[in-house]
Structure 1
Amino acid sequence: MIQRILTFFERYSFGVCTYMGERFNVSIAKIRLFFIYSSFLAVGFPLIFYFCAGIVLDIRHYIKRIRARAMDW
């Protein structure tokens, strides 16, 4: 059951924790725990950061796809 929940969030989330984990060479689970704990302490500010970072990452992926398509011409 827990594995299904984790798989759901991994598939449909923005991928911010994964990106940051790979970028800074830190465990993804530690970054997720940091966001969860800091959200409780900072009254949700890290969630705002998470969503903004997710939007920026989606825009970056969109731009990369457009550039790849343009290079195929």
Structure 2
Amino acid sequence: MLKFIYNIRHFFEKYGFAVSSRVADKLGMRAKNVRIFFIYSSFATLGFGFILYLTLAFWIKLKDLVYTKRTSVFDL
């Protein structure tokens, strides 16, 4: 049972939106604590944490698409 939980966690960490890890890096925290915050806030506010998570995922994805770093002027 424990291996199953770790496999699910690994799947979401690998193929997720990386919102938790990027927010944790920005705040100087561990990603696990940020994930726990999103889980608890989802239960406490009846889904607000999940909506917040998806909104942050959308903004991060949009930021990555807009602000790509180019190595040279000739890469346009």
TM-score, length-scaled by structure 2 = 0.81
Q: Which moved more, 1:2-11 or 1:28-37?
A: 2-11
CA deviations 1:10-35 (Å, max 9, x no partner) are 12111110011000001111111111
Counterpart position of 2:12: 9
> Which protein is richer in helix relative to its size?
1
Asked which structure has the greater RCO (Cα within 8 Å, sep 6+), the reply is 1
Counterpart position of 1:68: 70
Counterpart position of 2:56: 53
Shift of 1:54: 0.2
Counterpart position of 1:38: 41
Shift of 1:56: 0.5
Q: Which runs of 5+ in 1 are unaligned?
A: none
Count of aligned pairs: 72
SS in 2 for 1:68: coil
Report the identity percentage.
29
Equivalents in 2 of 1:55, 1:70: separation in Å? 28
Q: Which runs of 5+ in 2 are unaligned?
A: none
